[in-house]
């Protein structure tokens, strides 16, 4: 049984988004996703300062088993990337919701997240 | 309904992550494939390979039959327990399966792949009609592979009654065990590039054996680690490096074809002899990507010496090397570098012999 956090928003493609107190949005992949991928060996995140679009590819996560595209749940400017994942990609497996975050966005249209799933809907989507 | 090995319940109890593996309910890992992989390279790990098919071939004409059925020559097996790796070819020279055959006291024992079980048995029975042989599947035998630098020592601790015989067993030899384990068969073979044993065990005994090995400190491993280990060792996997439409000559299996004596007719001989005479067009090479990313099966390979593109037959992240490696089929010709097309982008890779790690040592 994978962990689904009540305070987060989710995409069916298994990304999570957290709205921070300062209005920025942190993005990562869910516990369910990391378990399905197995050992993560590379993470490719968008470049700092680049623009991402909601629902578009923003990076790639590669495990021993498979490569999987990462989609951004919101549009906006990338204001931080998790550089620690370059040397320690396994953090995505051990701490998907905390230390294993991917990137932070300054959203241009926060209401885009209204289309994302809440915890209950995501839980249902993954059949747990 | 998935097939289950006698160890399935125990895998789940011990934390194995169970998946549908070609119709079998098998552990893909026990938490971390990379940790399991490293255990095999540094200490000892064990794999449930009971899904593989064990077939005994007995009878007056067992040798004649196998000399006709297999591309390698079982007449080379002159000592009890000696093993031989070979392809079983179709008339067109494609590989129906790759397998190991052992010389046993009462004939021969073959270990064939699980995914090819039905077609293998059908083919063998069809070809056997002209021979006085009995072909008997042995589903009551489970099989455990124990691999790694400490594997033989750990097995000897658990099977102490046979420790002396196991200690003197040569590479690519098997031996029947003694006393109450007379139905057991231990072979010094494997699929990881490390020393170790593959042991055939009656299904009724295998759970206790697995538990004893775990208690002795042998790491249970899933089939995920088995794949990264065999790829680092440059070993072929049926359905990837070769199949019914691939000749052994383009799958680096030339060494398994016994051309002598020329008088021996085996199935597929004329087709591959023709191919050899015409000049073999492709070969398998190893690829190493020093930059970030992972090479995957199916990615195209651009070589400098040919317009014809190659293709990756197996690719992964190498836990031992910390970079991605692959086996690829490319047009023949000496090259030291190539490009792989990854999501539309050409990425430079080194071309090496398809043999990356052996006995814990990096070869590239």
Handedness of CA A7, A12, A14, A18 (dihedral sign): negative
Interface test with A, best of B21, B34, B291, B312 (most A CBs within 10 A): B34
Per-residue CA distances from B211 to B219, B220, B221, B243 (Å): 11, 10, 13, 36
Q: How many CA atoms lie less than 13 Å away from B62 in the CB half-sphere?
A: 21
Q: Report whether B165 contacts B224 (CB < 8 A).
A: no
Q: Is B292 on the interface with A (CB under 8 A)?
A: yes
Q: What's the whole-model pTM score?
A: 0.93
CB–CB contact A42 B224 (8 Å): no
Kind and range of the H or E run holding B64: helix B62-69
- Closest residue of A to B292, CA-based? A42
Of A42, A90, A93, the CB nearest to B294: A42
B34 CB near a chain A CB, below 8 Å?
A: yes
**Which chain B residues have a beta carbon less than 8 Å from that of A39?**
32-34
Q: Is cis: bond before B149, omega within 30 of 0?
A: no
B316–A62 C-beta distance less than 8 A: no
Three-state SS at B158: helix
β-partners of residue B58 are B134
Query: Which candidate, B349, B344, B343, B246, places its Cα nearest to that of B304?
Result: B349
Of B220, B201, B222, the C-alpha closest to B159 is B201
Question: What is the C-alpha end-to-end distance of chain B, expressed in Å?
Answer: 43
Q: Compute how many other C-beta atoms are within 10 angstroms of the C-beta atom of residue B152.
A: 20
- β strands within A1-128, DSSP E: 9-10, 15-19, 25-29, 40-44, 51-52, 57-63, 67-71, 76-81, 103-107
Task: Give per-residue pLDDT as tens, A90-117.
Answer: 999 999 999 999 999 999 999 999 999 9
Pairing relationship of beta strands B196-202 and B185-187 according to DSSP bridges: antiparallel
Q: Are B177 and B186 in contact (CB under 8 A)?
A: yes
- Report the distance separating Cα A92 and Cα B18, nearest Å: 21
The span from the CA of A102 to the CA of A46, in Å, is 9
B74, B66 contact by CB (below 8 A): yes
- What is chain B's percent helix, strand, coil content, to nearest 5? 25, 35, 40
Q: B282 to chain A, minimum CA–CA distance in Å?
A: 27
Q: How far apart are the C-alpha atoms of B58 and A67, rounded to whole Å?
A: 47
Residues 141-200 in B contacting A (C-alpha not used; CB under 8 Å)? none
Q: For residue A7, count other CB atoms closer than 10 A to its CB.
A: 10
| Model pLDDT, residue B1 | 82
Smallest CA-to-CA distance from B156 within B220, B91, B213 is with B213
- With bands split at pLDDT 50, 70 and 90, how would you rate the model's confidence at A57? very high
- Put simply, whether A42 touches B (Cβ < 8 Å) is yes
The count of C-alpha atoms lying within 13 angstroms of the C-alpha of B196, restricted to the half-sphere facing its C-beta, is 28
- Point out the residue among B224, B292, B293 whose CB comes nearest to the CB of A64: B224
Query: In this prediction, what percent of chain A has a pLDDT beyond 70?
Result: 100
8 Å CB contact of B29 and A62 = no
pLDDT tens for residues B213-236? 999 999 999 999 999 999 999 999
What is the structure's pLDDT at B296? 96
Q: What Å distances lie between residue A6 and A57, A123, B144, B335, CA to CA?
A: 25, 10, 44, 55
CB spacing of A64 vs B28 below 8 angstroms: no
Residues of A in contact with B317 (CB under 8 A): 41-42, 62-64
Pair B64, B131: CB distance under 8 Å: yes
Per the prediction, chain A carries an average pLDDT of 95
Splitting chain B (364 residues) into consecutive groups of 10 residues, what average pLDDT does each group show? 95 95 94 96 98 97 98 98 98 98 97 96 98 98 98 98 97 97 97 98 98 98 97 98 98 97 98 97 97 94 96 97 97 96 94 96 94
How far does B188 lie from chain A, in Å, by closest CA?
Answer: 28
- Please judge whether B319 and A64 are an interchain contact, meaning their C-beta atoms are less than 8 angstroms apart: yes
Q: Which residues of B touch A38 (CB under 8 A)?
A: 28-29, 33, 224
pLDDT value of residue A1: 76
Mutate: best of B223, B292, B344, partner A, most A CBs <10 A? B292
DSSP string, B311-324: EEEEEEEETTTTEE
pLDDT for B50 equals 97
Q: Count of CB atoms within 10 A of residue B45's CB? A: 31
pLDDT at res. A102: 98
In a 3-state reduction of DSSP, which class is residue B282? strand
pLDDT recorded at residue A113? 94
Residue B292: predicted pLDDT? 87
């Amino acid at each position: 049984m994978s962990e689904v956090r009540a305070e987060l928003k989710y995409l069916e493609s298994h990304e999570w988004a957290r709205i921070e107190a300062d209005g920025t949005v942190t993005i990562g992949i869910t516990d369910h996703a990391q378990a399905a991928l197995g050992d993560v060996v590379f993470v490719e995140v968008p470049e700092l300062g680049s623009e991402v679009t909601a629902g578009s590819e923003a990076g790639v996560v590669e495990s021993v088993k498979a490569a999987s595209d990462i989609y951004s749940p919101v549009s906006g400017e990338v204001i931080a990337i998790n550089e620690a994942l370059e040397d320690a990609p396994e953090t995505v497996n051990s701490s998907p919701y905390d230390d294993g975050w991917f990137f932070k966005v300054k959203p241009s249209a926060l209401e885009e997240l209204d289309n994302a799933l809440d915890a209950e809907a995501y839980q249902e989507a993954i059949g747990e | 309904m998935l097939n289950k090995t006698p160890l399935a319940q125990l895998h789940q109890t011990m934390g194995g992550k169970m998946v549908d593996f070609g119709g079998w309910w098998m552990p893909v890992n026990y938490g971390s494939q990379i940790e399991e992989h490293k255990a095999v390279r540094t200490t000892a790990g064990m794999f449930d390979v009971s899904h593989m098919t064990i077939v005994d071939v007995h009878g007056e004409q067992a040798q004649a039959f196998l000399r006709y059925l297999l591309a390698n020559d079982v007449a080379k097996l002159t000592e009890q327990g000696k093993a031989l790796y070979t392809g079983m070819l179709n008339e067109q020279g494609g590989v129906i399966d790759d397998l190991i055959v052992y010389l046993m006291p009462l004939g021969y024992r073959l270990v064939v792949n699980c995914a090819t079980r039905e077609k293998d048995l059908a083919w063998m029975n069809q070809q056997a009609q002209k021979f006085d042989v009995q072909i008997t599947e042995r589903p009551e035998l489970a099989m455990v592979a124990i691999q790694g630098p400490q594997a033989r020592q750990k097995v000897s601790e658990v099977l102490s009654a046979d420790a002396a015989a196991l200690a003197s067993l040569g590479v690519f030899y098997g031996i029947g065990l003694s006393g109450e384990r007379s139905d057991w068969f231990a072979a010094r073979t494997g699929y990881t590039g490390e020393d170790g044993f593959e042991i055939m065990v009656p299904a009724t005994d295998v759970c206790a054996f697995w538990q004893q090995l775990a208690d002795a400190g042998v790491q249970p491993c899933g089939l995920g680690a088995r794949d990264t280990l065999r790829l680092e060792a440059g070993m072929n996997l049926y359905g990837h490096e070769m199949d019914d439409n691939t000749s052994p000559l383009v799958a680096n299996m030339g060494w398994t074809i016994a051309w002598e004596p020329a008088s021996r007719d085996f199935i597929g001989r004329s087709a591959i002899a023709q191919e050899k005479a015409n000049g073999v067009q492709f070969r398998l090479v190893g690829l190493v990507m020093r930059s970030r990313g992972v090479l995957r099966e199916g990615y195209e390979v651009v070589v400098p010496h040919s317009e014809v593109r190659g293709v990756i037959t197996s690719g992964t992240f190498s836990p031992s090397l910390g970079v991605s490696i692959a086996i690829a089929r490319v047009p023949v010709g000496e090259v030291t570098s190539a490009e792989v097309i990854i999501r539309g982008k050409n990425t430079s890779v080194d071309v090496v012999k398809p043999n990356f790690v052996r006995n814990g040592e990096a070869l590239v």
